[in-house]
């Protein structure tokens, strides 16, 4: 499902170029769940952004669901992002001007594959019934992240990329959200790559890889 081959990425900074990723290769199969661990600044987010097609590597290739996204243009990559990838961020990144229901349906509707039954089921499973007409700012952090998870899964993604989704939540809430996410991803049949620096959480994944100074090590 996801194949990352010898990908390198360098960012310019005030003190010259900083190598974020060097020769990273990673392969993730369908339904596989991978925990991506590493220190802050080890390149976890960058790797996820590259896999999600939000940014391009300097070197190497990335293939998603058989499509080499590193060879695609901006517009085509946006389409892959819309149709194949689901993103969950630490900051939730909900659209503040839309209601809970609208936020959950947003990506599916943008991709033209809105499934009312699935959406409703997700809302129920996420424990968001009765909050559909609320706006994000009226929700707690855990609730907001559940909305973000719902938004991702309502679109039938083949790959879910999650960047420390519980990093902003307290431990109990984080655990609850994490369990829910793992269950729902498993039900949807999507692959999951999640960045986290928590070894406790990583244990619940089928595989675990570790990034250190931009190099990938099997854990």
Task: Compare residues 29 and 41 and give the one whose CB is closer to other proteins.
Answer: 41
CA distance 163 to 93: 12
Task: Compare residues 19 and 111 and give the one whose CB is closer to other proteins.
Answer: 111
Enumerate residues 6+ apart whose C-beta is below 8 A from 29: 1, 191
Q: Would you count residue 65 as binding other proteins (CB under 8 A)? A: no
Q: Please choose, from the candidates 69, 52, 163, 58, the residue with its C-alpha nearest in 3D space to the C-alpha of residue 107.
A: 52
Residue found by looking up tokens 């907001």 in the block: 144
CA distance 33 to 24: 18
Q: What are phi and psi of 132, to 5 degrees?
A: -60, -35
Q: How far is the CB of 94 from other proteins (least distance, A)?
A: 7
Q: Would you count residue 145 as binding other proteins (CB under 8 A)? A: no
Q: Would you count residue 40 as binding other proteins (CB under 8 A)? A: yes
Enumerate residues 6+ apart whose C-beta is below 8 A from 25: 4, 5, 6, 7, 60, 216
Stretch that binds other proteins, among 57-65, 96-104, 178-186, 203-211 (CB under 8 A): 96-104
Binds other proteins by CB under 8 A, chosen from 35, 69, 105, 149: 105
Q: Would you count residue 132 as binding other proteins (CB under 8 A)? A: no
CA distance 61 to 25: 9
Q: How far is the CB of 187 from other proteins (least distance, A)?
A: 22
Binds other proteins by CB under 8 A, chosen from 3, 19, 54, 113: 54
Q: How far is the CB of 55 from other proteins (least distance, A)?
A: 5
Stretch that binds other proteins, among 37-45, 171-179, 201-209, 211-219 (CB under 8 A): 37-45
Q: Would you count residue 74 as binding other proteins (CB under 8 A)? A: yes
CA distance 35 to 207: 6
Ranges within 2-31 binding other proteins (CB under 8 A): 11
CA dihedral sign of residues 98, 101, 104, 109: negative
SS3 123: helix
Binding residues for other proteins, rule: CB under 8 A, are 11, 40-41, 45, 49, 52, 54-56, 74-75, 78-83, 85, 87, 89-91, 93-98, 102, 105-107, 109-111, 114, 163-164, 167
């Amino acid at each position: 499902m996801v194949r990352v081959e010898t990908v390198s990425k360098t960012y310019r900074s005030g003190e010259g170029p900083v190598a974020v990723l060097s020769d990273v290769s990673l392969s993730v199969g369908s339904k596989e769940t991978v925990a991506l661990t590493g220190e802050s600044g080890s390149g976890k987010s960058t790797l996820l952004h590259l896999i999600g097609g939000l940014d391009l590597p300097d070197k190497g290739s990335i293939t998603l669901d058989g499509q080499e996204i590193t060879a695609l243009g901006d517009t085509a990559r946006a389409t892959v992002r819309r149709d194949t990838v689901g993103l969950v961020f630490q900051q939730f990144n909900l659209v503040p001007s839309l209601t809970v229901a609208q936020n959950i349906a947003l990506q599916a509707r943008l991709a033209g594959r809105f499934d009312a039954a699935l959406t409703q089921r997700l809302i129920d499973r996420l424990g968001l019934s009765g909050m559909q007409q609320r706006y994000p700012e009226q929700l707690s952090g855990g609730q907001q992240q559940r909305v973000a998870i719902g938004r991702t899964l309502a679109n039938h993604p083949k790959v879910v990329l999650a960047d420390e989704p519980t990093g902003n939540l307290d431990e109990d809430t984080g655990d609850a959200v994490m369990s829910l996410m793992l269950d729902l991803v498993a039900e949807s049949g999507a692959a999951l790559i999640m960045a986290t620096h928590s070894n406790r959480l990583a244990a619940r994944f089928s595989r675990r890889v570790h990034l250190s100074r931009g190099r990938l090590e099997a854990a």
